[in-house]
Amino acid sequence: MYHHTHSTVGPRELPMARSMCWHCQSEVAGEYFCERCVKVQPVSKDLDYFTCLGFPRRLTIDQHQLETKFYELSRAFHPDFYQNKSAAEQTISLGNSAMLNIAYRTLRDPIERAEYLLDLEAGSVKEIRNSPPADLFEEILELQDTLSEYRAAGHASETESTLRAKLQSERNTLEQRQREMEATLQQLFVQWDTLQDRGEATDQARTERDRILKQMRENLSNRTYVKNIVSDLASTIG
Amino acid sequence: MARIVGIDLGTTNSLVAYMADGRPRVIPDRHDRTMVPSVVAMTDNGLIVGDPAKEHLTRNPERTVYSVKRFMGKSLEDVQGELAYFPYHLTEQGGVIRIKLGEKTYSPPQISAMILKELKRRAEAHLGESITKAVITVPAYFNDSQRQATKDAGMIAGLDVLRIINEPTAASLAYGLQQKMQGTIAVYDLGGGTFDISILKLKNGIFEVLATNGDTHLGGDDFDRQIANLFVKEISEQHGLDLNAYPDHMQAVRLEAERAKIRLSDELKTTAILDLPESKGRYSRDLTRDQLESLTMELVERTLGPCRLALNDAGLTSSDLDEVVLVGGATRMPLVRQHVEALFGKQPHCELNPDEVVALGAAVQADILGGGTTDLLLLDVTPLSLGIETMGAVMSSLIRRNTTIPASAKEMFTTYVDGQTGVDIHILQGERELVKDNRSLARFRLKVPPLPAGVPRIEVTFLIDANGILNVSARDVRTGATQSLAVKPSYGLSDDEVERMIGESFKFAADDLKARQLIEARTEAEAILMATEKALKQGSHLVGEEDLSSIRASMAAVEAAKSGEDHKTIRAKMADLEKATHHLAEVLMDTSLKAALENKKLSELTSGK
Ligand SMILES: Nc1ncnc2c1ncn2[C@@H]1O[C@H](COP(=O)(O)OP(=O)(O)OP(=O)(O)O)[C@@H](O)[C@H]1O
Ligand SMILES: [Mg+2]
């Protein structure tokens, strides 16, 4: 039998709101299983991924702890262990597992984690940027020209190899840019976590919060833009 | 809970296994063979499966089906390119291939069901109990239609398919359990018809698949084809014979090509020999391993791309891997091993029999589902991205490839026109931008209450279950009402059709049983006649004339019954012959011959006990 253990992340809100056990109607005190009849309880659809996995809303997460928690909850929810249970429990197991899997997938990756947090805190970031960030504008325009020249150039021609070299160096520059953006993001993540840890409710804290979120949003969308260009480049010049 | 068996339903060979005392075991037949060739033949007396059916490949090529797995979940168009290689006749109905055998046509799931039934029988005979529940393996790279077709096959065979699991993952379960393997591993599975690569993390009993890739149309069959093509070309050049006009000879070429390939895994040189039609004598050809390798190099190299993609998706490089495991008969080829070793920079493992390891893993998974094994858990992924068609015939992705399953995604739908009562939804699977470059899975029409445009809000949930199979449900957000969806598969049997096929399968079971009993009786009669001949040669001088004439008469009776259609008569005449030879057996001092006569069973005769 599975034993629920609290993660070591520290005191946290219990993952589920107080509610009735779907089976025995006794009060479920926030565990994934009813304490009285031991039946699995559905994870609320409104639960955010951080809470689902028992982590606070922070952008630095210990990967090892996250994985341990994911494995622990997988053992609790996976349909394999509900084969001999009622149809209702099988449905809950399926839903909970799907939720857990998407939660883990999202939180595992630092960028996706940040995008998700931003979404929770300030609405979606997923609108796709289709013009280059201002400071890269000139560079990208030129790159676009070189790319079309390269595509038009005769196979194995001299122009082709000159252009290829040029594109290769562009690629290196852009990859460097992407790394810089990621480093900036990393700093913003730390700033966010520090601010959260302080837990102040002052005007100053609120302004700071909005600034971090705004910068994060900008950096995330610029990074995605650059990353897409880099992978385009990579597939063109191989 | 009733016992659950694990089944490897392979392109070339199928196996069934079960778990006992914490260890998975493959179930052999009476002759100690663990593999059932995935071959089904339609004879005048009904359908036969496995080794006896294999004999019909050259005798009756138009009515003997092999490699049917290649057609699961496919339309005729999908396989146009290789139709010429198959001697049996294929048609299509409702997006599903049909195989014509005599008067009747069969869908690939029905043919697969015959193989499954054979495995079911084998398990029932071995375990002495009725078997109704199974875990069946599929290539990891199988799409939704191919998985669903496999599940349909199980149902038609009268099996409750509790889980479809991926072949390489099953293999990892067997390695994890039997070899205590841990860490990050790659499973390279090259079978008869399909290639899979899976990257997994094995830690504290959790088997987490990080990424998978493959080619569901690449395997040993394709290697054989390369060799066969060469033979056919040479025969045409040397003898002016186009073997394509002789389906039976084409099958002989294919089988000889396979045998040569297999021999060249151990030897550096071999000779292929074929009898030619039209009294053109024989074709005999030396083939070296080098020649085989240059014929098949390109195919082996085709497996490397998917390996790199899988590593990339897992966010790893080959140096991050702790172990590499080889699965599938075709990995016995030295060329394959060299390529795998070079790519991953590691000596690959093959401690567990590559033919059996998938079935063993399926048995482990069966035991997990049955509640016997509680410390292992497999977390698999969906191999292909799932999405829906949006404006401009573009696919919008909802669940990305290599997402851990079960996985779900929700999408909200509304209307663009006042009073619109339906929204058409087209579900796709694949990695490409445009709808036409991906696999169409299914279509359905969402019912919407007639309201002003934009007001209705219908939430559709796409759920990929632990089998990797899609389930769709819809809910009206305004009213909370759920609606049942009539999802029409693009390349699959409808529920009604499966229902009908289940019925038919029971109806024909009696005929098939008769056919099998007849074949078994004939084979055994053949064996006892041979043994008696042998005994007579050695000992006829030791018994009287009366004994001898009674033996000869009984032999003639067996011979006559053997060409009849009734297995009971054959058995009765065999019993008579046994009585008639009793004295001869007694006087024969040669113990092996004596044993042969007393134990009429073919198994004991052939295994020389
Ligand atoms: N010693 C050998 N050398 C080379 N090839 C071999 C050898 N032994 C078996 N094979 C090939 O392996 C293939 C069968 O392998 P296997 O039984 O693993 O496939 P399968 O499970 O039926 O197919 P799949 O997994 O693709 O559905 C055949 O093509 C066979 O010719
Ligand atoms: Mg196989």
- Do B403 and A101 lie within an 8 Å CB cutoff? yes
pLDDT for A45-73, tens place per residue? Answer: 778 999 999 999 999 999 999 999 999 99
Q: Do B377 and A80 touch (CB under 8 A)?
A: yes
Chain B residue with minimal CA distance to A79?
B466
Percentage of chain A beyond pLDDT 70 is: 87
Grade residue B265 by pLDDT with cuts at 50, 70 and 90.
very high
pLDDT tens for each residue of B327-351: 999 999 999 999 999 999 999 998 8
List the single residue in B403, B407, B466 with the smallest CB-CB distance to A79. Answer: B466
A122, A156, A176 - which closes a domain: A122
Sheet with B206-215, strands from edge to edge, namely: B323-327, B183-190, B195-203, B206-215, B377-379
**What's the pLDDT score for residue A94?**
94
Separation between Cα atoms, residue B389 and residue B385, nearest integer Å:
13
Strands (E), B191-318: 195-203, 206-215, 269-275, 282-288
Residue A6 lies in a domain: no
Q: What is the pLDDT of residues A169-193, one digit of tens each?
A: 888 888 999 999 999 999 999 999 9
pLDDT band at A30 (very low <50, low <70, confident <90, very high): low
In a domain, A191, yes or no: yes
Q: pLDDT value at position B596?
A: 58
Banded pLDDT at B606 (limits 50, 70, 90): very low
Residues A110 and A138 in one domain: no
Nearest to A97 among B162, B369, B406 (CB): B406
Which pLDDT belongs to residue A168? 87
Do A154 and A205 belong together in one domain?
A: yes
User: Does A104 sit within 8 Å of B406, measured CB to CB?
Assistant: no
Q: Which residues on A lie below 8 Å from B377 (Cβ)?
A: 74-75, 78, 80-81
Tens digit of pLDDT for each residue in B160-198?
A: 999 999 999 999 999 988 888 889 999 999 999 999 999
Task: State how far residue A102 is from chain B, nearest Cα, in angstroms.
Answer: 7
Number of domains in chain A: 2
pLDDT for residue B570 is more than 70:
yes
Tell whether A113 and A163 lie within a shared domain.
Answer: no
Give me the domains of chain B, ranges plus CATH numbers.
Answer: 4-218+303-379 (3.30.420.40), 220-299 (3.90.640.10), 386-493 (2.60.34.10), 501-606 (1.20.1270.10)
The structure's pTM equals: 0.85
Contact B360, B17 (CB under 8 A): yes
Query: In this structure, are A21 and A110 located in the same domain?
Result: yes
Average pLDDT estimate for B223-251:
94
Tokens of residue B55, six digits: 């004999």
Query: Are A153 and A100 in the same domain?
Result: no
Q: Residue B502: its pLDDT value, please? A: 82
Confidence of residue B547 (pLDDT cuts 50, 70, 90): confident
Question: Given the DSSP bridges, would you call strands B488-489 and B482-483 parallel, antiparallel or unpaired?
Answer: unpaired
Burial of residue B421 (number of CB atoms within 10 Å: 0-12, 13-18, 19+): middle
In the listed set A98, A122, A146, which residue is the last one of a domain according to the structure?
A122
B408 touches chain A (CB under 8 A): yes
With a pLDDT cut of 70, the percent of chain B lying above it is: 96
Contact criterion met (CB below 8 Å) for B534 and B593: yes
Structure token pair of residue B546: 């009366």
* Rounded Cα–Cα distance for residues A39 and A220 (Å): 42
How far are the Cα atoms of A177, B147, B367, B491, B596 from residue B137, in angstroms, in the given order?
Answer: 46, 9, 14, 20, 40
Q: Does A141 touch chain B (CB under 8 A)?
A: no
So what's the pLDDT on residue B579? 87
B573 labelled catalytic: no
pLDDT tens digits for range B359-374: 999 999 999 999 998 9
pLDDT in tens, A93-126: 999 999 999 999 999 999 999 999 988 988 765 5
The answer to whether residue B21 is catalytic is no
Over residues B408-416, the mean pLDDT reads: 91
Residue A33 DSSP code: B
> Which of A97, A100, A109 to mutate to probe the B interface, most B CBs <10 Å?
A97
Residues 207-236 of B with CB under 8 A from A: 208
Question: Pick from B403, B463, B466: which is nearest to A80 by CB?
Answer: B466
Range of the domain at A116: 11-122
Q: Which H or E element spans position B505?
A: helix B495-539
Q: What is the model's pLDDT at position B524?
A: 82
Q: Would you state the pLDDT for residue B46?
A: 82
The verdict on B181 touching A (C-beta cutoff 8 Å) is: no
Q: How far is Cα B109 from Cα B72, in angstroms, rounded to an integer?
A: 7
Query: What pLDDT shows up at residue B208?
Result: 97
- In B240-288, alpha helices (H): 247-263
Alpha-carbon distance of A224 to A139, in angstroms, equals 17
Q: Do A98 and B377 touch (CB under 8 A)?
A: no
Q: What is the mean pLDDT of chain B?
A: 90
Residues A142, A110 share a domain: no
pLDDT band at A229 (very low <50, low <70, confident <90, very high): confident
Q: Tokens standing for B482?
A: 């759920």
pLDDT of res. B357:
96
Say which residue, B598 or B165, is predicted with more confidence: B165
Residue B598: per-residue pLDDT: 62
Task: Report the alpha-carbon distance of residue A108 to residue B421 in Å, rounded.
Answer: 41
Distance B330 CA to ligand 2 centre (A): 9
CB of B474 closer than 8 Å to CB of B459:
yes
Same domain, A34 and A99: yes
In angstroms, the CA B75 to CA B542 distance is 66
A contacts of B163 (beta carbons < 8 Å): 80
Q: What is the pLDDT of residue B553?
A: 92
* pLDDT over threshold 70, residue A6: no
Quick one: B426 exposed, middle or buried, by C-beta within 10 A (0-12, 13-18, 19+)? Answer: middle
Q: How confident is the model at residue B591 (pLDDT cuts 50, 70, 90)?
A: low
Domain co-membership, A31 together with A88: yes
Stretch B39-56: mean pLDDT: 90
Gyration radius of chain A's alpha carbons: 24
Rounded Cα distance, B530 and B2, in Å: 43
Tokens linked to B235: 């025969």
- What are residue B461's DSSP bridge partners? B410, B473
- Alpha-carbon span B289 to B465, nearest angstrom: 45
**Could you tell me if residue A147 is inside a domain?**
yes
Would you say residue A204 lies in a domain?
A: yes
Residue B609 pLDDT more than 50?
A: no
Domain final residue pick, A122, A144, A159: A122
Pair A1, A85: CB distance under 8 Å: no
A2 within domain boundaries: no
Task: Say yes or no: A18 and A116 in one domain.
Answer: yes
